[in-house]
Amino acid sequence: MVKDSKKIWYKAARTIVKAGQLPMVVNDTLLELLQLIMTEEQADFIAIFKKPSLSIDEIREKTTLSNEVLNQTLNELMDNGVVVGVPSKRTGVMVYRLLGPFPGLFEMQFTRGEIGEKQKKLAHLFDKMFEEMSEGTQRNYDHIVAQYKNFPPITRVVPVEEEIEDVPVDKILPYEEASKIVNKYDDIALVHCYCRHEKDLLGESCKVTNERLNCLLLGKSARFAIEHNFGNQISKEETIKIINKASDEGLVHKAFHTHLNPELDEEAICNCCKCCCGIFNLFWKGVMPYHCYTSYLLKVNDDICIGCGTCVEKCPMEAIELEDAIAVVNENRCIGCGVCVHHCPENAMELERTGNREVFIPPPKIKIT
Query: In this structure, are residues 87 and 57 in contact, taking their beta carbons and an 8 Å threshold?
Result: no
CA angle 302, 307, 308 (to 5 degrees): 140
Among residues 97, 43, 48, 56, the alpha carbon closest in space to that of 224 is found at 97
User: Who wins on pLDDT, 356 or 246?
Assistant: 246
* pLDDT given for residue 159 in this prediction: 86
**pLDDT tier at 211 (50, 70, 90 boundaries)?**
very high
For the cut 60, the answer to whether the pLDDT of residue 170 exceeds it is no
SS3 (DSSP) at 53: strand
- Per DSSP, helices labelled H in the chain are 5-19, 28-37, 40-45, 56-62, 67-79, 105-110, 117-139, 141-148, 178-182, 194-201, 219-227, 236-248, 278-284, 310-314, 339-343
pLDDT digits 0-9 by tens, 180-191: 899 999 999 999
Distance between terminal CA atoms of the chain? 46
48: amino acid identity, one letter: I
CA gap 350, 348 in Å, rounded: 7
What is the C-alpha to C-alpha distance for residues 352 and 298, in angstroms, rounded to an integer? 6
pLDDT digits (tens, 9 = 90+) for 88-146: 888 989 999 999 999 899 999 999 999 999 999 999 999 999 999 999 999 999 999 99
- Predicted confidence (pLDDT) per residue in 255-277, tens digit: 998 877 888 889 999 999 999 99
Q: What whole-number percentage of the chain has pLDDT above 70? A: 95
**Model pTM?**
0.92
Give bridge partners of residue 292 from the DSSP assignment: 155, 359
Domains and CATH numbers, the chain: 5-141 (1.10.10.10), 142-361 (3.30.70.20)
Which pLDDT value is given to residue 275?
95
Q: Contact at 8 Å (CB) between 301 and 350?
A: yes
d(CA 197, CA 113): 6
